[in-house]
């Protein structure tokens, strides 16, 4: 009987099961498989919690520039006299407001371009707001959003026209155009930008990636309509507001977020009154 046969007989007599020894190559293979599984699990969790949402932001091609300040700028408020002469009156005046704190400066200028009145006494006003914000202090707070909003209260004789977004100019800002079916009192809109404008009278420019931008701004043309017929004209008050939101942009494994957010706001008012009124 050979040596190997004697060893096998002893194993059988003891009732023990032979153990297979894992070689060095086998150990490396197992460790490698375990490592790959761990990496895959980590990758799945990372994608699940930090993957960006589907692209939903739009950046206008048209550049933004703030108009030069000149002598026909009026601070705070503007009074427009309505006239019944079936003419287009080219005005080109500005009404402006500005506010500053230790961190940021915010400016709002509204160009009152022209006004037209039909012989029936209704009217139409062409205007163009300009919003601009810039960092003026040494601060770790970043620009989050720049928001335009207008209001004419419960005045049933005032309305406005939908926007031609091709004419919107911007600097360092994106706009949310998430598709969908957004319902409102005037209809259904297929993106968030139109819905915000038609339903809430606002436009929101966003620092999409939380970049450390020093300034931002946007501008666009808009039209206001007046339906009260002559001689039953009434006074109309339209308020335009610019609001800057700024805060700390935090990046983490579970996603990015804004914290410690503050706001800075300013506004101007246009009063539309019957000719000779106050």
Q: What is the pLDDT of residues 51-83, one digit of tens each?
A: 434 468 999 999 999 988 665 667 899 999 888
Rg of the Cα atoms in the chain: 33
pTM: 0.77
pLDDT tens digits, 196-226: 999 999 999 999 999 999 999 999 999 999 9
In this prediction, residues 33-55 reach a mean pLDDT of 45
Across 163-168, average pLDDT: 91
pLDDT of residue 83: 82
Q: Mean pLDDT throughout 162-191?
A: 91
Mean pLDDT over all residues of the chain? 82
Per-residue pLDDT band at 48 (split at 50, 70, 90) = very low
Higher-pLDDT residue of 49 and 250 is 250
Please give the angle made by the CA atoms of 183, 188 and 189, to the nearest 5 degrees: 105
Bond before 231 cis per omega within 30 degrees: yes
């Amino acid at each position: 009987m050979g040596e190997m046969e004697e060893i096998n007989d002893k194993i059988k007599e003891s009732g023990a099961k032979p153990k297979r020894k894992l070689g060095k190559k086998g150990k490396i293979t197992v460790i490698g498989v375990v490592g790959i599984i761990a990496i895959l699990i980590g990758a799945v969790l990372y994608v699940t919690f930090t993957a960006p949402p589907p692209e939903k932001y739009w950046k206008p091609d048209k550049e933004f520039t703030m108009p030069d300040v000149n002598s026909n700028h009026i601070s705070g408020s503007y009074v427009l006299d309505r006239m019944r002469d079936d003419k287009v009156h080219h005005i080109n005046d500005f009404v402006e407001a500005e506010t500053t704190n230790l961190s940021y400066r915010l400016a709002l200028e509204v160009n009152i371009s022209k006004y037209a009145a039909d012989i029936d006494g209704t009217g139409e006003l062409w205007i163009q707001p300009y919003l601009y914000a810039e960092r003026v202090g040494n601060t770790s707070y970043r620009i989050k959003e720049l928001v335009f909003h207008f209001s004419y209260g419960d005045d049933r004789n005032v309305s406005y026209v939908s926007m031609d977004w091709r004419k919107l100019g911007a600097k360092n800002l994106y706009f949310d155009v998430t598709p969908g079916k957004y319902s409102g009192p005037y209809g259904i809109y297929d993106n968030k930008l139109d819905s915000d404008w038609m339903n809430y009278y606002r436009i929101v420019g966003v620092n999409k990636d939380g970049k450390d931008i020093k300034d931002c701004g946007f501008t666009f043309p808009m039209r206001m309509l007046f339906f009260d017929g002559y001689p039953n004209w009434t006074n109309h008050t339209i308020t335009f507001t610019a609001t800057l939101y700024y805060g700390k942009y935090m990046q983490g494994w579970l996603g990015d977020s804004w914290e410690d957010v503050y706001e800075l706001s300013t506004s101007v008012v246009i009063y539309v009154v019957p000719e000779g009124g106050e």
